[in-house]
Amino acid sequence: MRIARRPVLARTLASATLVAAVLTGCSTAAATTSADSTTSASSGSTTTVDDATDGTVTSTDAAQSVTDALAANLATHTDGTEADGDLSTATTVTLDGGSATSSGDGVTVDGSTVTVTAAGTYVLSGTLDDGQVVVDTADEGTVTLVLDGADVTSSTGAALSVVAADEVTVLLAEGSENHLADTAGWTAADGAGPTAALASQADLTITGTGKLSVEGSSNDGISSSDGLVVQSGELVVTAVDDGVRGQDYLVVEGGTLDVTAGGDGLKSDDDTDATAGYVAITGGTTTVTATDDGVDATTDVVVGDGVLAVTAGDGSGSTPTGTESPRGLVAGVSVVVGGGTVDVDATDDAIHTNGAVGIHGGTVTVASGDDGIHGDGAVTVDGGTVTVTDSYEGLESGVITLAGGEVDITASDDGVNASDPTATEAAGGDPMAQSTSDAYGLTISGGTVVVRSDGDGLDANGYLTMTGGTVVVNGPEGSGNGALDVDGTFEVSGGTLLAAGSSGMAMTPSASSPQSFVSFTLSSPVGDGTVLQLLDESGAVLATFTTSTTVGNVVLSSADVVADATYTLAEGGTASGDEVGGLAASGDASGATTLVTATAGVEVAGMGGGGGMGGGPAGGGRGPRP
């Protein structure tokens, strides 16, 4: 299991702390035995704690799978079983305006308040104009409330209030439409549970094939101070604050969930148990429109399957401020995606965690007014499809690993930025107050990566190591940035790297790289849509690339490039076959015109290598964030 976590997870970490976190958190070899870190036996993940900050979690293993992430957390009360109710012995409760009647025991009626006092199954139908359904029992066993055309509105409290029970299931009868609502102006007393239209102080399960509409006009829509599992059914929730909340955990296994919230959309906020406070999506279709964060978890956000669509704030078309920073998926420890479909449009970071982000499968599409994907400790993509359609910076973390899958990034500043993710905050928003360290870096070992950026394409304030995969960078047109910007060691030993951008800060891998490279600097830039042919000494085509911006420099590293050989960059000819970011599968240089020749293996340091200007630190110069 994971170690105890501090109740409030800090967003701002000292650089020295982050260095230790990154070095420890990205190792999945032997368990660490120092006093500062603990390795999870169940998942192989490592969590690093800073003693100076009373146990603040700064990093977890970004390679952790969905299965491991869920196993390391508190098991749900359903534990994979399907909730049900025995209708053959059910008690019928008929709601009638300002009163109600019951067909059996276990129910008391006091005016417009219906109280269930025993475990069992109860079928509710009809309308309470201004009343409550209350569950208050010390019995062991489940209370199952079958809603079969039930409509309850309350002006004095929750429409459905679970005061005490072992466990409660809300079962939506087939073909039924049900409605729960409270009115504005009431607040639950201290210790009396959540303030919500559907409020529970016990583990709560929602299942069935009917429909439930919930309106939270005083605070939340659906809220449980224990665990909450949505198994099936059609749920439509609107709330002035949080839409759906499970304090211990919130798990969506199936059904259709549509949430509109004035606060957070989905939320789990237990901060006393290291294994609680998580949100998991393992099935169904969930749509969230939130004024604040879309999905907010004290510990983990885990997506294993299903569809999750989130709009946070005013979406990516707006710019986050110091007081308004709605994010898409937010986790104090980790965000893990192993399958399903995730679509996020957020004012601030689309995916944000104080620890690690791991994407191992599924389809992830994000748009952000700031970072597409941000992890203070680490970001790993080793499977699936990741598309950042709009961002200030695409991927941002201290340590970034791209080991598989398909990654496509569009950014108005840096495409991929591996640097101290707290530097901007510490510097009061100064984008040049960067920190260069071997603890920060970018490793590419597989998959395909396409970057379109107005700032640096690949920016590492430490190392950049490439051992495999295909990377195409459509870099900046302005001379103040480069397609490649590395302050530390820049080494390529495998794969294909093609980087095109301005010539003002052009740079190459180091001359000592096991795999050679060639850099072409043009006397006059070529415009977008230009077909470029990279030819060897015999005139054979090594690569065919079609530009998407104005280009003044092109760098190619591949297994076909031989050190000290002479290569030619020509304009014209044709490109054919499948293409990745403008890099075609094949080409024909017939009729092409020579632009420039260059010798392979000649290093160009640009202004990033050796600790020059480099790219800005993580945070992208957006200024301090809350």
pLDDT over 90 (residue 56): no
| pLDDT tens profile 102-149 | 999 999 999 999 999 999 999 999 999 999 999 999 999 999 999 999
Lowest mean pLDDT among 351-360, 444-453, 479-488, 541-550: 479-488
pLDDT over 70 (residue 33): no
Predicted local confidence at residue 599, as pLDDT: 98
Q: What torsion do the CA atoms of 546, 549, 550, 556 make, to the nearest 10 degrees?
A: -50
Q: Which of 121, 113, 206 is nearest to 158 (CA)?
A: 113
Residue 309 CA, chain-centre distance (Å), reads 12
Lowest mean pLDDT among 305-309, 383-387, 427-431, 504-508: 427-431
User: Quick one: DSSP state of residue 111?
Assistant: T
Sign of CA dihedral 57, 310, 369, 444: positive
AA letter at 356: A
Predicted local confidence at residue 5, as pLDDT: 34
Confidence of residue 318 (pLDDT cuts 50, 70, 90): confident
pLDDT over 50 (residue 58): no
HSE, CB side, 13 Å, CA atoms: give it for residue 87: 10
d(CA 161, CA 527): 65
pLDDT over 60 (residue 323): yes
Please give the residue that has the higher pLDDT: either 541 or 10: 541
Within 26-85, where are the H helices?
66-71
Six-digit token string for 256: 């259709």
Predicted local confidence at residue 187, as pLDDT: 87
pLDDT over 80 (residue 49): no
Predicted local confidence at residue 427, as pLDDT: 34
d(CA 116, CA 585): 68
Percent of the chain beyond pLDDT 70?
A: 84
450 CB-near residues (< 8 Å, 6+ apart): 407, 408, 409, 471, 472, 474, 580, 581
Contact indicator for 386, 364 with CB cutoff of 8 Å: yes
Mean pLDDT for 7-31 is: 32
d(CA 274, CA 447): 34
Burial class (CB in 10 A: 0-12, 13-18, 19+), 345: buried
AA letter at 109: V
Q: Which of 309, 424, 299 is nearest to 356 (CA)?
A: 299
Lowest mean pLDDT among 33-47, 156-170, 203-217, 497-511: 33-47
Q: What is the 3-state secondary structure (H, E, C) of 530-565?
A: CEEEEECCCCCEEEEEECCCCEEEEEEECCCCCCCC
Residue 131 CA, chain-centre distance (Å), reads 40
Contact indicator for 530, 559 with CB cutoff of 8 Å: no
Please give the residue that has the higher pLDDT: either 343 or 2: 343
Confidence of residue 329 (pLDDT cuts 50, 70, 90): very high
To the nearest whole number, what is the mean pLDDT of the chain?
87
Lowest mean pLDDT among 63-67, 84-88, 414-418: 84-88
Confidence of residue 188 (pLDDT cuts 50, 70, 90): confident
**DSSP bridge partners of 374:** 352, 396
Q: What torsion do the CA atoms of 118, 119, 120, 121 make, to the nearest 10 degrees?
A: 80
Where does 369-475 show beta strands of DSSP type E? 371-390, 393-411, 416-418, 441-453, 458-460, 463-466, 470-474
Contact indicator for 545, 583 with CB cutoff of 8 Å: yes
Predicted local confidence at residue 160, as pLDDT: 98
CB atoms under 10 Å from CB of 125, counted, come to 18
d(CA 621, CA 456): 13
Please give the residue that has the higher pLDDT: either 19 or 463: 463
Mean pLDDT for 177-206 is: 92
Predicted local confidence at residue 418, as pLDDT: 96
pLDDT over 50 (residue 618): no
Six-digit token string for 293: 């964060």
Q: Which of 511, 602, 521 is nearest to 565 (CA)?
A: 602
Predicted local confidence at residue 435, as pLDDT: 56
